[in-house]
């Protein structure tokens, strides 16, 4: 099964919500939409589902143009950030509701609900009402309802955002397993890069109504095609600086420069933007490819095993995320080490230099 967007766009009252977008999503992998709030993830999902009509472009499902097909006839399921269940029905009836609409036999319904409840570990709760369940269990019920019918397209709109941290971890572990055997196109919207990475599959990064890149999740993360993609796909935020290539050195300032090296030897001299992920900036020199950077610490956040150091350097706010506990006082002057072997260079159009 496959879902294809062909030059799909959406304008509302003269404002562009989605710029013309091409996207081809397949069954069998997790398709992730990654972007901040208001980047257009929800609108794009509504277009995919048929809840919204595209302003232009076509939507094809399995080689069939479904652009003008209403959502009721498309066989779509959706799970939202809020736990949406029927409050006056038992968990069983909640899960069974799509099957009742489809006028399925009672015995079949029982069978199916039982199976899906087992997969989502809510078999013990089928007689209860949603209000008697915890948040995590309520969301499991909502998911079960979305999964119980054989939907061709299953959409998740930040389903874990309202859950406790540990519950999120648990469901993140389970979700890919549940979907690996299904023959449906699965789309999952999230704001968190770490969540996208954990699910693997394919990721489309979104920024202000545009899909900036689409590909295998690991590839998008390690080879972002543009500065925007790298920023969307970095948590904590990507550290950036303006760098000048002059002959065989990259130079940020008189104090901070490093050799260009073989890989980028062929690119023309001029101004570039360098991006370094926070976990490639260390409090101590780790290798020969580290360059020293002077900074003033704003605040150091220590978790039990890691340190996140926020500091100002070269007119920018940078973050370093490293193993171990490193204590700094606010306003302390310090030297940190950036690994230039692990950085990205972007040209004047903010495109990745792939030389």
Q: Which is nearer to another protein, 11 or 253 (CB)?
A: 11
Least separation, in Å, of the C-beta of 236 and another protein? 6
CB 203 within 8 A of CB 218: no
Kindly state the number of chain residues that form the binding site for another protein, as judged by CB under 8 A: 40
Per rule CB under 8 A, is residue 236 in the interface with another protein?
Answer: yes
- Per DSSP, the chain holds a count of helices (H) and strands (E) of 8, 20
Query: What is the H or E stretch that residue 222 is in?
Result: helix 217-222
Which stretch in 125-133, 165-173, 251-259, 261-269 sits in contact with another protein by CB under 8 A?
A: 165-173
Our CB check for another protein shows the closer of 249 and 330 to be 330
Identify which range of 40-48, 205-213, 282-290, 297-305 contacts another protein by CB under 8 A: 297-305
Q: Which of 22, 127, 169, 271 binds another protein (CB under 8 A)?
A: 169
Say if CB 35 and CB 205 are below 8 A apart. yes
What is the contact mask toward another protein in residues 109 to 128, using x (rule: CB under 8 A)? --------------------
Q: Does 178 bind another protein (CB under 8 A)?
A: no
- Secondary structure of 257-296 in the HEC alphabet? EEECCCCCCCCCCEEEEEEECHHHEECCCCCCCEEEEEEE
CA distance 12 to 282: 46
Distance of CA 183 to the CA centre of its chain: 22
Residues 330, 341, 354, 355: which binds another protein (CB under 8 A)?
330
Write out the binding residues for another protein, residues 35-94 only, by CB under 8 A: 36-37, 55-56
Among 63, 64, 166, 266, binds another protein (CB under 8 A): 166
Q: Which of 67, 90, 123, 191 binds another protein (CB under 8 A)?
A: 191
Encode burial over 148-180: b for 16+ CB neighbours within 10 A, e otherwise. Answer: bbebbbbbbbbbbebbeeebbeebbeebbebbe
Per-position x/- string for 254-293, each x denoting binding to another protein as judged by CB under 8 A, each - no binding: -----------------------x-x--------------
With a CB cutoff of 8 Å and minimum separation 6, the contacts of 148 are: 95, 96, 98, 99, 112, 113, 116
Query: Looking at 301, 312, 335, 355, which residue binds another protein (CB under 8 A)?
Result: 301
* Of the residues 194, 316, 335, 354, which one makes contact with another protein according to CB under 8 A: 194
Residue identified by tokens 């062909």 is: 6
Residues 188, 199 contacting (CB under 8 angstroms): yes
For residue 190, give Cα distances in angstroms to 78, 159, 161: 14, 8, 8
- In angstroms, the Cα distances linking 94 to 88, 142, 157, 349 are 9, 8, 19, 51
Minimal distance, residue 46 CB to another protein, in Å: 19
Mask of contacts with another protein, 127-146, x by CB under 8 A? -------xx-----------
To the nearest whole angstrom, how small is the minimum distance from the Cβ of residue 112 to another protein? 28
Using rule CB under 8 A, residue 183 touches another protein: no
Contact residues toward another protein (CB under 8 A) are: 11, 36-37, 55-56, 134-135, 164-167, 169, 191-194, 197-198, 200, 217-218, 221, 235-237, 277, 279, 298-299, 301-305, 308, 310, 321, 325, 329-330
């Amino acid at each position: 099964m496959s879902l294809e967007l062909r030059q799909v766009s959406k304008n509302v009252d003269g404002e562009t919500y989605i710029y013309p977008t091409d996207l081809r999503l397949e069954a069998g992998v997790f398709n992730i939409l990654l972007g901040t709030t208001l980047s257009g993830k929800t609108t794009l999902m509504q277009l995919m589902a048929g809840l919204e009509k595209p302003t232009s472009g076509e939507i094809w499902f399995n080689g069939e143009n479904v652009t003008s097909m209403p959502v009721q006839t498309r066989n779509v399921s959706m799970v939202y950030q809020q736990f949406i269940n029927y409050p006056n029905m038992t968990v069983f009836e909640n899960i069974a509701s799509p099957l009742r609409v489809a006028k399925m036999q009672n015995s079949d319904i029982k069978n199916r609900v039982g199976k899906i409840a087992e997969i989502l570990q809510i078999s013990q709760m089928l007689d209860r009402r949603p209000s008697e369940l915890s948040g995590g269990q309520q969301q499991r019920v909502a998911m079960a309802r979305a999964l119980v019918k054989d939907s061709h397209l299953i959409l998740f709109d930040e389903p874990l955002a309202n859950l406790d941290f540990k519950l999120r971890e648990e469901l993140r572990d389970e979700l890919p397993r549940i979907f690996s055997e299904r023959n449906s196109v699965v789309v999952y919207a999230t704001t968190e890069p770490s969540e996208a990475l954990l699910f693997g599959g394919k990721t489309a990064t979104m920024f202000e109504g545009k899909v900036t890149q689409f590909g295998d999740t690991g590839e998008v993360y390690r080879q972002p095609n543009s500065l925007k993609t790298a920023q969307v796909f970095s948590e904590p935020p990507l550290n950036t600086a303006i760098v000048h290539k002059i002959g065989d050195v990259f130079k940020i300032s008189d104090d901070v420069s490093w050799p260009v090296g073989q890989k980028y030897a062929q690119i023309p001299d001029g101004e570039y933007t360098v991006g370094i992920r926070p976990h490639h900036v260390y409090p101590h020199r780790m290798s020969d490819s580290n360059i020293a950077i002077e900074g003033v610490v704003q605040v150091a956040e220590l978790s039990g095993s890691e340190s996140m150091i926020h500091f100002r350097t070269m007119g920018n706010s940078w973050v370093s995320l490293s193993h171990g506990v490193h204590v700094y006082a606010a306003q302390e002057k310090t030297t940190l080490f950036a690994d230039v072997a692990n950085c990205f260079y972007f040209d004047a159009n903010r495109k990745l230099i792939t030389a």
